[in-house]
Amino acid sequence: MITSSMYLALDFPDWQQTEQFLITNQLNEVPVKVGMELFYREGAEVIKRLRDRGHPVFLDIKLHDIPTTIYKAMKNVAKLDVELTNVHSLGGAEMIKAAKAGLLDGGAGHQTKLLAVTILTSMTGVMLREELRIDEPLADTVVHLAELSQSNGADGVVCSPLEVELIKNQVGPKFLTVTPGIRLAKDDMNEQKRIATPAKARALGADAIVIGRSITQADQPKQAYLVAEKEWTV
Ligand code: C5P
């Protein structure tokens, strides 16, 4: 179980533009996702500001390094009071275990859930095969990485909505699936490849969704937020 379930991706260059967007569109206290763009500019302070304003936070930093470094990094992340954070499952079993241990030892208890990214939703089976020489079908790789993540202490995975059912069937219903690659029906795909609408993600059984440009680049962001929320929660 996670408390929040629709995270708005705050992919803005700095705090000023982030704050302006949230205030202009009266998106008070909505769950948000902070990714690398904003975090690398503003650092931990941005998380504090968002928490002070009542936003639940998913800190999307997709860590991938040697286990010792990941352990120490997650000990620090544990102090930030975020609901979710993540690593790349491709970092392997020891790294995933180290991430979980870091969160626990850093004092986050079970308040901060650890997700592992399976295969980015911008990637395709052809890219896996031709660029990374991973010959297994993409879906098999995703399920394998989900199992690896679960057996090494992750609370869930970041995956495409289209993979939720496979993962739940294989790894069990309690293992969280958080899905980016969400578009409102009328939108551009941008570079995302394996996408779904909020309603489809819900129907497919996702526990939470991440939605960014469909809202942040909309002509009327608040309106788009409400449409996505309604589709997701109905
Ligand atoms: O704008 P859009 O809705 O595509 O934003 C998706 C967000 O989710 C981005 O911040 C991106 O970094 C993140 N994400 C993703 N695919 C993953 C994991 C995270 O698109 N597999």
Which pLDDT belongs to residue 185? 80
Could you tell me the distance, in angstroms and rounded to a whole number, from the CA of residue 138 to the centre of ligand 1? 18
Asked if residue 192 has its Cβ within 6 Å of ligand 1, the reply is yes
Residue 62 annotated to the active site = yes
pTM reported for the whole predicted model: 0.94
Pocket test for ligand 1, best of 11, 59, 120, 194 (most atoms within 8 A of CB): 11
Do 22 and 28 form a contact (C-beta atoms < 8 A)? yes
Which pLDDT belongs to residue 90? 97
Asked if residue 120 has its Cβ within 6 Å of ligand 1, the reply is yes
Of 148, 139, 228, nearest to 180 by C-alpha is: 228
Of 163, 187, 189, 186, nearest to 175 by C-alpha is: 163
- Phi-psi group of 103: left, alpha or beta (phi > 0 → left; psi -120 to 50 → alpha; rest → beta): alpha
Which pLDDT belongs to residue 188? 60
Which pLDDT belongs to residue 3? 67
The segments of the chain whose pLDDT lies below 50 read none
Which pLDDT belongs to residue 15? 98
Asked if residue 210 has its Cβ within 6 Å of ligand 1, the reply is yes
The domain limits of the chain are: 6-233
Q: Which CATH architecture has domain 6-233?
A: Alpha-Beta Barrel (3.20)
